[in-house]
Amino acid sequence: MNNFSSTSQNKRKSSKLPDFVTEQELIKIIKHTKQKHHKVAFMLGFYEGMRITEVTKLQPEDVDWGQRMIRIKESKNKKDRNIPIAPQCVKVLKQLPVNVSQRALQYAFTGAVKRSKITKDLHFHSLRHGGATHYLNTKKWNIRQVQVFLGHASINSTQIYTHIQPQELIDKMWEGNT
């Protein structure tokens, strides 16, 4: 006889896709952000795919201008990784460190989203999610490149960033048939 109730057996993770920030929404959010260090943090979250903890720990000496790389030290699971400097972040990296707590940064982000009148349920991590989606869809990076960029051990973790819009499927279906 089974000791588990039927409700515990049927519990599954939600399959709802997390909301993500588009590049146009990021620009709008930055326009509604007052503090320069918050703008820097938001850009790093999106264009560099950085977690909030990575942004708050980042120091000027973590930027290798010669190699055009950022060294992320002891990130999730105590892993280090190197990521390329995005052209959009060259100027803002000169304003490091951001000198703000994770909680204050999250609060600043949700406030900027509200002032931007964006109705999605966004959090700082939505920037990382949006950046990954941006590189996959707009910059045409492959899933493996995004996996390495984000520092995911498993490709399965990266696959949540592969947002396919219904219109993209329609366009593919009708490609060459019009």
CA dihedral sign of residues 26, 31, 33, 35: positive
* pLDDT digit string, tens, across residues 135-170: 988 888 888 888 888 888 888 877 776 655 556 656
Peptide bond into 97 cis (omega under 30): yes
Q: Which residue has the higher pLDDT, 56 or 4?
A: 56
Residue 122 has pLDDT above 50, yes or no: yes
Distance CA(94)–CA(74), nearest Å, equals 22
> Which range, 4-18, 120-134, 142-156, is most confident?
120-134
* pLDDT digit string, tens, across residues 31-90: 999 999 999 999 999 999 999 999 999 999 999 999 999 999 877 777 889 999 999 999
Q: Which of 49, 51, 55 is nearest to 150 (CA)?
A: 49
Q: Would you give the distance in Å from CA 74 to the centre of its chain?
A: 18
pTM strictly above 0.85? no
The correct answer on CATH 3.20.20.70 for the domain covering 19-170 is: no
Specify which residues 82 forms β-bridges with: 71
Q: Which residue has the higher pLDDT, 95 or 169?
A: 95
Query: Do residues 48 and 101 make contact, with C-beta atoms less than 8 angstroms apart?
Result: no
